[in-house]
Structure 1
Amino acid sequence: MGRWEPNARGRLARAALELFAEHGYEQTTVAGIAGRAGLTERTFFRHYADKREVLFTGSAELEQLFVGPVAEAALTLPPVDALLAGLDAVSAFFVDRRDYARRRQTVIAANAELRERELIKMASLTTALADALRGAGVADPAAGLTAEVGVAVFRVGFERWIAPGERREMAPLLHEALTELKTVAAGGGGRGGGAGA
């Protein structure tokens, strides 16, 4: 009867992360995830295609949140400045999700198949962002370069946000990463002060 209880999807995601952390991704089964959540395997497959998708189910939503605002802002702003609209939208998506994001990233970092899937997700995001910028009238190579930059800034800011002991919200970290990139691109900063720098 557990399959009729509310928030099955969230319960399955929590159960999967717990089991991935306890036993490792490879050793965790769909049956184990469903059992931990108090649900059936059939219920699991109503929500997820396989156990990997528990970790990547928000990819399409993340892509839409990032791409849409950037494309709209690019109609009136320089492409790199338009990235802030998407970065701010993405940071709002992650509010109150830091613990989940940290645990998810730990699981992904420990498994080559999952790391590859994460790279594919980032490549898809880059392609979608470049296509949206082109649609907003940004010519190549600027559209492709801006998309690459946007995803790189997101990744750097995200990694800082999930770092142990980090307490700041994601938005200022993303802004900081973009500002640092602009500084380096303008020819300032980015060099250490020691010998051999």
Structure 2
Amino acid sequence: MARWEPNASERLAVAALELFAERGYENTTVVEIAERAGLTKSTFFRHFPDKREVLFGGDTMSNLVDKGIAAAPDGATPLEAVAHALDTIGREAFRADRREFGARRRAVIAANPELREREALKGLRLIDSMIEALTRRGVPALAASVAAELGALAWSIAYERWSDPANHEEFGDLASRTLDEVRATTASLA
């Protein structure tokens, strides 16, 4: 396949996930990932800075968070704006056809400390993205921080549920229900 085909980054991600599952993250090289995807090493590096990033999608999620919060209706509460972002992510990134990839990705990350660390850092970046987007909407700093932290918690729980192969619900529905559960739990702590 030609390296300029539009789905090169997707092919690289799938190839990397397969190889990480087969051989382990540490035992897989960028060259092997590129070859499995039918691409070259230089094409790999046009899409990703290193083999770790192939599973993390760069700034895709941060951009979707920003887009979703910005598009929330005027007058939306901070948590409603976060819910809008989670719904946007579900529609654009966590579609049903990506569920198996999500489950396999989660297993590979769980098996490798370096990837778990990267996943944690990505989670912190997403919280920052939510805070920045909420602040641009005029939400006070503390409220933006609390809403972002609760949103990230709901995201994490919903992603775990969504990527379970036995689950067939849409991510947006799971995220909305999970955010409601987080809200109710928070209220019960008061």
TM-score, normalised to structure 1, is 0.86
The 3 A distance-change label for structure 1 pair 78 and 37 is closer
Shift of 1:164: 3.7
Note if contact 2:99-2:165 (Cα within 8 Å) is conserved in structure 1: no
Code of the residue aligned with 1:91 in structure 2: it is: G
In structure 1, distance between residues paired with 2:141 and 2:4: 50
In structure 2, distance between residues paired with 1:112 and 1:97: 24
Shift of 1:140: 2.6
Determine which structure has greater relative contact order: mean sequence separation of CA pairs < 8 Å that are 6+ residues apart, divided by chain length: 2
Shift of 1:174: 0.7
Residue 148 (structure 1) aligned with residue 149 (structure 2) = yes
Indicate the SS of the match to 2:188.
coil
Question: Percent identity between the aligned chains?
Answer: 44
Shift of 1:107: 1.0
Note if contact 1:72-1:136 (Cα within 8 Å) is conserved in structure 2: no
Residue 185 (structure 1) aligned with residue 183 (structure 2) = no
In structure 1, distance between residues paired with 2:145 and 2:15: 39
Code of the residue aligned with 1:150 in structure 2: it is: G
Structure number, greater radius of gyration = 1
Shift of 1:136: 1.1
Shift of 1:185: 2.4
Q: What are structure 2's unaligned runs of at least 5 residues?
A: none
The 3 A distance-change label for structure 1 pair 37 and 140 is closer
CA-to-aligned-CA distance 1:12-51 (integer Å, 9 cap, x gap): 2221111111000000011211222232222222222211
CA-to-aligned-CA distance 1:63-105 (integer Å, 9 cap, x gap): 1212232244374122112222111101112112111111111
In structure 1, distance between residues paired with 2:8 and 2:71: 35
The 3 A distance-change label for structure 1 pair 38 and 77 is closer
Note if contact 2:3-2:43 (Cα within 8 Å) is conserved in structure 1: no
Code of the residue aligned with 1:44 in structure 2: it is: F
Which residue in the other structure is 1:47 paired with? 47
Runs (4 or more) in structure 1 with deviation over 4 Å come to 2-5
Residue 19 (structure 1) aligned with residue 19 (structure 2) = yes
Aligned residues: 186
CA-to-aligned-CA distance 1:92-124 (integer Å, 9 cap, x gap): 121121111111111111111111111111101
Question: Greater shift after overlay, 38-47 or 161-170?
Answer: 38-47
